[in-house]
Amino acid sequence: MSANEDGHESAIKTPQQLIIVVVLSFVVPVIFLIMFAQFVLSATKPDASETAAEAVAARIKPVADITLSAGGGGGAAKTGEDVVKGACAACHATGAAGAPKIGDKGGWAARIGLGLDGLTKSAIKGKNAMPARGGVPDLSDFEIARAVVYMANQSGASFKEPAEPKAAKAAAK
């Protein structure tokens, strides 16, 4: 039986055609891979204005920078409202972990009875699930006291804003 009798016919009829097909089956993928590698490598090349050292520095730079400061960052102290929004509201706005909600006079009544000094000491040292300094170690005692005044006054207290420490006033000038 020949190929014509079955109704099937091969596209490759000579040994030369077979060699060409085999060679192309290896060469075409290799050429494709080389072109793909060129594309990928050209996409990551630095701009002409960027030196090699700058390009390396940009690729290996850290994800985040950490700046350590002593007691409030050395600049102007944050307001009580700013501190509450940045650190305290996560728990005190929702009542999470047993924290008294801001504005809940019943929840704050016993705490307000401790006075500003007692509440501030608790906030600085931490209490129950609340971490020391509300989990923000760079807050100054003055900023924490301002936050306590803000939250307590929203919840029925009538604490006066604490006086800014003299060292902070001198640093701000």
Q: Is the pLDDT of residue 74 over 60?
A: no
Domain range summary for the chain, segments of one domain joined by +:
3-60, 80-172
pLDDT for 72 beyond 50? no
Question: Please, are residues 92 and 99 in contact by the beta-carbon 8 Å criterion?
Answer: yes
String of b and e for 23-45 (b: at least 16 CB within 10 Å)? eeeeeeeeeeeeeeeeeeeeeee
Reply yes or no on whether the pLDDT at 46 is more than 60: no
Q: Is 0.85 surpassed by the pTM of this model?
A: no
When the pLDDT of each residue in the chain is averaged and rounded to a whole number, the result is 80
Pick the CATH number of 80-172 from 1.10.760.10, 3.40.640.10, 3.30.200.20, 3.60.110.10: 1.10.760.10
3-state secondary structure of 130: strand
